[in-house]
Amino acid sequence: MTAPAPTPRRPSPYSTSYLLTAAAIAAATAILLIAGNWIGYASAAVPWLNGVTLGFWVLPFALALRLLPLPGTTLLVALFAGIVMGPFQPDGFRAIIVNLWYAVFFELVFAVTLYRIRRTWLFLVGGAFNGAIWGASVALALDSGSMVPGVVAATILVPTVSGALGAWLGVGIADALAARGVGTTTRKRLEQRRAAKAAASVHRTPVGE
């Protein structure tokens, strides 16, 4: 009796190449967010103006998840970037918590779809959602009931638009990098795993179903 053929081992997309690419993105992210933080500190007295910088946080996370389409990518990049940022900003390593806060809300949009939808519009939704959450949090913290309605609206609307714009730019940069071969190994391994999973599913389906 012939023994069944062993199931081929699926290569993990979470490879050394993936980690190195994520670390490189995190290093660039740290530089961008350090600049964003200092701009944010300078404009902290004007809530709606401060919201303009929200896109700085969304851009690298959109780029990372577009280039390396795996669950948890934005969290990993946020963590690495926060560690690098710590010594270079007044809040120190609180940057790790702040980065992860932004990353969680951005990645949540994709987690709801079980990471099956990767269209550009969903990145824009993720960026806008991130900005709206941030803007609403700031408005509540500043006692929105005592603020002029127009200021409250601007406090929420400005970061929402900034978040969507940041996501759009991140997707554009990621697509340009992908066209030059960045992140190819991770994407190929992910496709191989999906193909192997689909093939295994077909083989397990009883004849006649």
Q: Of residues 165 and 199, which shows the higher confidence score?
A: 165
**pLDDT at residue 8, rounded to an integer:** 53
Coil, strand or helix at 7: coil
Residue with more model confidence, 199 or 53: 53
Q: Is the pTM of this model over 0.75?
A: yes
Using the predicted structure, report yes or no on whether residue 88 has a pLDDT greater than 80. yes
The predicted pLDDT at position 103 comes to 93
Model pLDDT, residue 51: 83
Question: What's the average model confidence in pLDDT over 26-55?
Answer: 83
How many Å apart are CA 77 and CA 59, to the nearest integer? 12
Q: What is the pLDDT of residue 199?
A: 57
Give the model's pLDDT for residue 144: 61
What is the secondary structure of 137-197 as a DSSP string?
A: HHHHHTTGGGS-HHHHHHHHHHHHHHHHHHHHHHHHHHHHHHHTTTTHHHHHHHHHHHHHH
Q: What SS3 string covers 137-154?
A: HHHHHCCHHHCCHHHHHH
% of the chain surpassing 90 pLDDT: 45
- Range ranked top by mean pLDDT from 13-27, 38-52, 167-181: 167-181
Cα atoms in the Cβ-side hemisphere of radius 13 Å centred on 179: 6
Q: What is the pLDDT of residues 89-148, one digit of tens each?
A: 877 888 899 899 999 999 999 999 988 888 999 999 999 999 999 998 888 887 766 667
pLDDT at 200: 60
Say what the pLDDT of residue 1 is.
45
Does residue 53 surpass a pLDDT of 90? no
* Of 91, 46, 165, nearest in space to 99 by CA: 91
